[in-house]
Amino acid sequence: MTARRKKTAHTTTKSRTVLAIDVGGSHVKVMTNNERIKREFESGPELSAKNMVRKVKDLTKDWSYDVISIGYPGPVAGNRPLREPFNLGEGWKGFDFQKAFGKPTKVVNDALMQALGGYKGGRMLFLGLGTGLGSAMIADGEREPMELGHLPYRKHKTYEDYASEAGRKHSGNKKWRKHIADIVKHLTTALEPDTVLLGGGNVKRLDKLPPKCRRGDNADAFTGGFRLWDGPPAEPRKKLG
């Protein structure tokens, strides 16, 4: 009887359905670990947190899920955004997604969720080449969201100013690729990762990858969202001081 009960409990854990939500500057994408079908809608500067929840509920009304993971484009603490996003509407800071959805919900920085999805061990730096420049570090399983994109780079501008989609359009693809290679070189020298995972929509524009780099997969954000519910640690470690 004891062995049978253990098996039942294990099966219940494995059968838990996770809805992963990837909140981006241009689109919000959703997927469950059972259906593995991506659905999405446009986001943009008018999308508030409440509207996002409403649209996700409408978009997934024919799906059933038990828990939720959200990748948010900004810093997160206690499963709530710490500030308003740059490319979306208002009402995100401090928003209680668990209460709004009515289901257990984990919220992490979107770059960290993508990094978790592509992590294969060791010390890995993630850089997301998209609307902005997302960043995260995973060292031997320890998760650390980062804001490297806002560090000063050159000409009184930041890494993100050069690596972002706006930076690519301003510089052109050829110069943008050179900036990416230089940024990767600077950050790998400082952080000493074993590997660098390059993700985001613009990674496809790199015809050659810098040393230590590999390409992320389009599904990494969803895989990371599913992995958030695999077990501890549930949240990134707290910073001291």
pLDDT of residue 218: 81
Task: Please check the confidence at residue 241 and state whether its pLDDT lies above 70.
Answer: no
Give this prediction's pTM: 0.85
**Percent of the chain, pLDDT > 90?**
81
List, in sequence order, every residue forming a beta bridge with 129; answer none if it has no partner.
133
pLDDT average, residue stretch 132-160: 93
Given this model, what pLDDT does residue 233 score?
Answer: 40
* SS3 letters across 35-60: CCCCEEEECCCCCCHHHHHHHHHHHC
Q: Which residues contact 118 (CB under 8 A, 6 or more apart)?
A: 124, 126, 197, 199, 216, 217, 220, 223, 224
Q: CA gyration radius for the chain?
A: 18
Query: Which residues, at least 6 apart from 172, have a Cβ–Cβ distance to it below 8 Å?
Result: none
**Per-residue pLDDT at 182:** 97
Query: Distance between CA 140 and CA 152 in Å, rounded?
Result: 28
| Bridge pairing between strands 142-146 and 133-139 | antiparallel
**163, 179 Cβ separation under 8 angstroms:** yes
Q: Cα separation of 20 and 1, whole Å?
A: 36
Instruction: Report, as an integer, the average pLDDT of 160-180.
Output: 96
CA atoms within 13 A on the CB side of 210: 19
Mean pLDDT, range 47-74, rounded to an integer:
97
| Average pLDDT of span 63-88 | 94
| Rounded Cα gap, residues 231 and 66, in angstroms | 15
pLDDT of residue 35: 87
Instruction: Give every CB contact of residue 27 below 8 A, 6+ residues apart in sequence.
Output: 40, 41, 42, 43
User: For position 120, what pLDDT does the model report?
Assistant: 95
Considering the chain, what is the average pLDDT of its residues?
Answer: 89
- pLDDT recorded at residue 231: 63
Distance CA 70, CA 109 (A): 8
How far, in Å, CA of 211 to CA of 188, rounded?
Answer: 9
User: What tens digit of pLDDT does each residue of 29-56 get?
Assistant: 999 999 899 999 999 899 999 999 999 9
**pLDDT one-digit tens code per residue, 183-203:** 999 999 999 999 999 999 899
